[in-house]
Structure 1
Amino acid sequence: MSLNEWFERGISKEEYIDSLQKHRDNFLHIYENFSVPTSDSLSNKENIRTIVLAEEWCGHCMLNIPILLRLTEQANIPIRFLPRDENLELMDQYTVDGKRYIPIVIFIDQEGNEVAKWGPMAPEVKELVEKLKVNVPTKDSPDYEGAFRQYVKEIVDVFRHDAAYWNYVYEDMIKSLP
């Protein structure tokens, strides 16, 4: 299937937001409080479209997608969403180290050619994740569930409240654009 066909298959921003359950409040908080810096010129992007592989339960999607939405709104870039788990044929073309990390953002031109991609996280976010995950034992450990819940609580708190991470994500996304 071509990237144009994947784009057409995707759901709209409104449908994606309506599907949110697990991280809805945090997603909307970031969306409502992040704005593209007024000094940034996002012109000359009118021939780009965006495909996003995501899942509503994903904490990284909770952080990254509201920022991506503000960027695409400012630049007038059409965007469509595909649930990762229902679109493995496309997802498997964008694995990271052989794993299905999300979100993956694919920028395409009008002919359906990939012109850029981004994801699943900015380097500063990856550093934070790795730092916090050192306290999480392996899944076969009896302490795993509690430690993992604590990790999720900490990371969600940072993603929701620390605007520096919002800016890291935005800056990294901007660097990927043609």
Structure 2
Amino acid sequence: MSLLDWFQKGLTYEEYKGQLKVNLTEMNAIYEKFEVNDERLSALSGVATKVIVLTEDWCGDALMNNPILMKIAEKLGLDVRFVLRDSNLELMDQYLTNGTARSIPIFIFIDDEGNEKAVWGPRAAEAQNLVDNWRAELPAKEAEDFEEKQKAMYRKIKQTYVEDTKLWNAVANSIITKLETQK
């Protein structure tokens, strides 16, 4: 399938939110609070016209990144469609992180003909650094308390993603910078 076909297969933002069961409240909270006020946006019109978002409801990174993308897309007039990763591995496997991981979300920016213009995801560098630092604090996987500490880490990540407005701005900056490099 072409990227344009994948785009047309995708869900609108409202359709995507309508099927969420895990992170809807948190995603809506970020969407309501976040404002993108980056002067660089005006120079980005025409870089792309559409975005395919590979995502899933359960993904903590998606709960933060997707609403930020939507705010950017609204400012740029981009049409966004959401494609669920787990039921669309054919597309996901074309956008593996480090060539091996099915990490999400992945934002695929395309033009009206379906030509790929930019790809972003799954995390801004600042978010990756936080996650890497917290993972480094975990005990070995064989440790008796590994699972408990890993769950606590996931809760900490989620809370940070929902509350840290500086991190939201870092994500927006990362997406905008990626689009700037494609001009």
Compute the displacement of 1:79 (Å).
0.5
Counterpart of 1:155? 157
Aligned 1:24-173 pairs, distance under 5 A? 24-37=24-37, 39-42=39-42, 44-45=45-46, 48-97=49-98, 98-173=100-175
Q: Helix, strand or coil: the match of 1:146?
A: helix
Separation in 1, partners of 2:36, 2:173: 10
Query: Any conservation in 2 of the 1:50–1:79 contact (CA below 8 Å)?
Result: yes
Stretches of 4+ aligned residues off by more than 4 angstroms: none
Amino acid at match of 2:33: N
Instruction: Output the TM-score relative to the length of structure 2.
Output: 0.92
One-letter identity of the residue aligned with 2:85: R
What stretches of structure 2 of length at least 5 have no aligned partner?
none
**Cα deviation, residue 139, structure 1:** 4.3
Give distance in 2, aligned partners of 1:136 and 1:54: 26
CA deviation after TM superposition for structure 1 residue 23, in Å = 1.4
* C-alpha deviation, 1:77, in angstroms: 0.2
Whole-angstrom CA distance in 1 between matches of 2:141 and 2:21 = 25
**CA shift at 1:63, angstroms?**
0.7
Normalising by structure 1, report the TM-score: 0.94
Pairwise CA RMSD of aligned residues?
1.5
Deviation per CA, 1:89-125, whole angstroms, max 9, x where unpaired? 0100000121100000000111111010100000010
Q: Residue 30 of structure 1 contacts residue 160 of structure 1 at CA under 8 Å; is this kept in 2?
A: yes
Amino acid of the structure 1 residue aligned with 2:68: I
1:44: how far off?
2.1
CA-to-partner distance for each residue in 1:131-176, whole Å, 9 max, x for gaps?
1112333544432221111101111111111100000000000011
SS in 1 for 2:112: coil
How far is 1:47 from its partner? Answer: 5.0
